[in-house]
């Protein structure tokens, strides 16, 4: 039997110091899990917004193969030329035509070609194009090149993530939820062979409210008015998931989530 395919997915990286933390640990994590493909969600990499070239370069140099983002990528204007110039930096596929970047990419791995797709939900989020229909069309097209397809489902609502995974069950290798920054305890293999977890969690300062400085988050909730976003510091961790799949069929064999502590990252100043 051929060796299985293994994908390592790192959850939403929050801030420049979290980028440094992930970059410092990525080689060790890749070796630990024997990963053929490494995907990093960097939606919040630059001051809580999408990555610029600097953060992307750090992550690629550390061993990332593909970077995914999300709705906050549009809040960093420096991310737009990055999306246009680097096909391995994805934004959600189902944004309307005319936006820069791509929602899918096929890359070469030691176990053959593998695809990464990113979709974005619409519940409690911008009313963009349908992720279900866009995802199914893309999966059918990608399967002509490879059965190994990892989907980043960037969404707010738990039910929408689960529904999308059920909809694509058997058509993709894994559907991994991002955006809410809290790792869930429901990693599983669906009936037709697709691995799923509602949210892989975040990578950054856990002495926080989902990456935000606690005092700022409290002011927002108590005053019910806007306050400037501020990144948190302390208790640095990396959250992620590891998916093992049959390389010939693309069906998932195993999924596990992890949360590892990382040393105090260097300053980004």
Annotated catalytic residues are 72
Query: Tokens 């306050």, residue?
Result: 227
Core vs surface per residue 190-224: b (16+ CB within 10 A) or e: beebbbbbbbbbbbbbbebebbbbeebbebbeeee
Does residue 244 contact residue 34 with C-beta atoms inside 8 Å? no
Dist CA 114 CA 48 (whole Å):
29
Burial of 31 (0-12, 13-18, 19+ CB in 10 A): exposed
DSSP assignment string, 143-158: TTT-S-EEEEEE-S-H
**Nearest to 247, CA basis, from 38, 14, 8, 2:** 2
């Amino acid at each position: 039997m051929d060796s299985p395919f293994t994908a390592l997915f790192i959850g939403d990286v929050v801030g420049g110091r979290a980028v440094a933390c992930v970059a410092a640990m990525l080689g060790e994590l890749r070796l630990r899990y024997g990963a053929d493909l490494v995907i990093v969600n960097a939606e919040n990499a630059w001051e809580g917004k999408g990555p610029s070239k600097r953060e992307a370069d750090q992550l690629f140099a550390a061993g990332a193969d593909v970077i995914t983002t999300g709705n906050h990528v549009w809040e960093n204007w420096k991310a737009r030329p990055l999306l246009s110039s680097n096909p391995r930096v994805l934004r959600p596929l189902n944004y309307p035509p005319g936006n820069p970047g791509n929602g899918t990419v096929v890359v070469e791995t030691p176990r053959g070609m593998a695809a990464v797709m990113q979709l974005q939900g619409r519940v409690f989020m911008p009313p963009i194009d349908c992720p279900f229909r866009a995802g199914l069309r893309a999966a059918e097209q990608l399967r002509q090149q490879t059965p190994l397809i990892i989907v980043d489902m960037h969404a707010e609502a738990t039910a929408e993530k689960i529904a999308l995974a059920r909809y694509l069950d058997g058509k993709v290798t894994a559907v991994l939820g991002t955006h809410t920054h809290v790792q869930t305890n429901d990693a599983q293999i669906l009936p037709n062979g697709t691995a799923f977890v509602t949210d892989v969690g975040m990578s950054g300062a856990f002495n926080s409210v989902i990456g935000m400085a606690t005092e700022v988050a409290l002011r927002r909730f108590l005053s019910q008015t806007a306050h400037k976003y501020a990144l948190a510091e302390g208790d640095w961790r990396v959250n992620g998931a590891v998916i093992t799949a049959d390389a010939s069929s693309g069906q998932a064999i195993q999924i596990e989530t992890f949360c590892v502590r990382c040393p105090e990252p260097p300053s980004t100043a």
